[in-house]
Structure 1
């Protein structure tokens, strides 16, 4: 933890040891993609310090820790709490997608909490720009690289198929919502290979304890067909999120 000399804010310093050029390019891409982002649910990136042995990311300090740890200690969340967190995540994704930027690594480990237990999206190392026209159904599919965390990856990424971008964030956010509501992953095999096969098939169970609205939204976000998957801007209008302020 350090103090920003210009703003006086507490900041976190993330030291990344330099390895190869590809790794360094990824770090600089993260800085480039996030430096100008200003949203209440996206962690601020103040810049990067280039030293002989390290790249040092200067980021917003968040003392609440990862959503991942929060879920481990609390288990399955009540629907009102999960609803509030999803509304915040959706607000951040809407902001990104409106700027033709997709995150591509949405998971609880990349969602931090501040001291008020509000979420902050972090780690844009896999983020990518997409052409604005690709948001429309049938738009050009320009992204092809497989990235992110396998258990949160959309079927099209698992298959190595081309994709537009925003819809893979929606899928991953749907997995996060499932974990918050159910306390486990929707696709879990005995090993990674079996898990990926389950994701490719896209079949998952909806526990009876969930409300009809929760089941409906999970089915829409975890829709196997990316073109039929609910778009980001429609998630906030879903009955599950009605009355929730991000």
Structure 2
């Protein structure tokens, strides 16, 4: 970490710090760019002194990092690396340049059917990936869904995420009240995946109408929760019949009757437009029995990401489970983290390669322009008597920028 004269962060690792993107309870999110290839990233800066007052916060952040490390999907924000010094923890994450879907909706007031469907298809694809990998987001809302430079969806903020362990229900009330499912606001044990599907229904309704399906003017939480628990959603007729049917299926009060991801994908409205290319790759279920090879010498770095998931009590138990002949979710997650690291290394290598090739093309173009500029100068020298400096200055700019 390096600071400038004002004491503000200038560098974090290989990244040059730029403007502030947002401020949260635990710190700031800064825009930054890689000093070598110019790649833009977001850096979530978390003050470590908060951990002393709130030990649970450390566990929450460690779990968020571990969950994000498990995932690699085009519609889920990627975490590239985690850095730290004596005062701060730095999460280097993918940058979504067009910000929150919430702000986009406020600007548009309501989203037209075709665009809303495209957004929803991408959200469902990302959530399906999470659920197939036994991850429940538990805080899906418009503010936690971002848009990248192509206006593609990026699901973010996994601070409330939890693993869905087979034959176990979740108990913690979390998330935003307006997006919370009836079983969550009733403080009952709940299936996190079913709760996520309800939140998807709230998001879809909001995109198409510009309003939340359940709201209270005076922010009366008791009345809001009663609406969510007991009142069927009222859907305006401006929404097509097929889409109304899907929203009602998503916002079904009884979790066991709520529509599944598979049925969402087969719904007529969902299929009324071709899937985006990024949503077409089939997502496989995590199968514990499929990972049979025992792990006797586990990578310490991967163990550090597995422990915060709290599937086992300590590192000794973790290594014993990994080396056991019995199939386990822990071993599946270990292999997932291992595979994901290979994919991230490949992605990073590709970006570096792209930057090098781009630089070569620009230099080559600069040489061509330099040569053409020289020919023009010779012509102009004889006829007008001045020196053409512009073609020569351009290559200097590009060399400085890309080195």
Query: Structure 1: any 5+ residue segments left out of the alignment?
Result: 134-139
Looking at structure 2, the residues matched to 43 and 62 of structure 1 have their Cα atoms a distance apart, in angstroms, of: 8
* Contact map agreement 1:31 1:47 (CA 8 A) in 2: no
- CA deviations over 1:153-191 (Å, ceiling 9, x no partner): 001110111112111100001000000011100001232
Q: How does 1:220-231 map to 2 (within 5 A)?
A: 220-231=249-260
Of 40, 46, 55, the match for 1:10: 40
**Does the aligned pair in 1 maintain the 2:233–2:248 contact within 8 Å?**
no
Given candidates 115, 133, 138, the residue that maps to 2:149 is 115
SS at match of 1:239: coil
Query: Alignment partner for residue 88 of structure 1, among 110, 117, 122?
Result: 122
Take 1:22 and 1:53, find their aligned partners in 2: how far apart are those partners?
A: 18
Pairing partner for 1:238 from 242, 267, 270: 267
Task: Quote how far apart the aligned CAs of 1:62 are.
Answer: 1.1
CA distance in 2, matches of 1:212, 1:141: 36
* Separation in structure 2 between the aligned mates of residue 51 and residue 201 of structure 1, nearest angstrom: 50
Structure 2 equivalent of residue 150 of structure 1? 177
Question: How does 1:109-188 map onto structure 2 within 5 Å?
Answer: 109-131=143-165, 133=166, 140-188=167-215
Deviations 1:91-115 (A, max 9, x none): 0011110111110000010000001
- 1:76-102 CA-partner distances (Å, limit 9, x unpaired): 111111111000000001111011111
How far apart are the structure 2 equivalents of 1:126 and 1:66?
18
Worse-superposed segment, 225-234 or 89-98: 225-234
Cα RMSD for the two superposed structures: 1.6
What is the alpha-carbon distance in structure 2 between the residues aligned to residue 216 and residue 141 of structure 1? 30
Structure 2: distance between partners of 1:110 and 1:204 = 23
Q: What CA distance in whole angstroms lies between the structure 2 residues aligned with 1:6 and 1:150?
A: 43
1:137 — aligned with what?
Answer: none
Q: Is the 8 A contact 2:204 2:247 kept in 1?
A: yes
Rate the CA distance shift 1:5–1:44 in 2: closer, same or farther, 3 A: farther
Match among 78, 85, 91 for residue 57 of structure 1: 91
Residue in 2 aligned with 1:136?
Answer: none
Deviates more, 1:105-114 or 1:196-205: 196-205
Gap change, CA 1:21 and 1:122, over 3 Å in 2: same
Answer yes or no: is 1:189 the counterpart of 2:219: no
Structure showing greater Rg: 2
Higher relative contact order (CA 8 A, sep 6+): 1
TM-score normalised to structure 2 length: 0.57
Q: 1:3 to 1:219 in 2, by over 3 A?
A: same
Aligned residues: 239
Structure 2: state its 5+ residue gaps. 1-30, 277-403
Three-state SS of the structure 1 residue aligned to 2:59 is helix
TM-score by length of 1: 0.92
Point out the structure with the larger helix share: 2
* Mean CA deviation greater in 74-83 or 11-20: 11-20
Q: Is the 8 A contact 1:166 1:232 kept in 2?
A: no
Q: 142-151 vs 190-199, which deviates more?
A: 190-199
2:123 alignment partner, SS class:
helix
Question: Following the alignment from structure 2 to structure 1, what is the Cα–Cα distance between the partners of residues 108 and 130?
Answer: 29
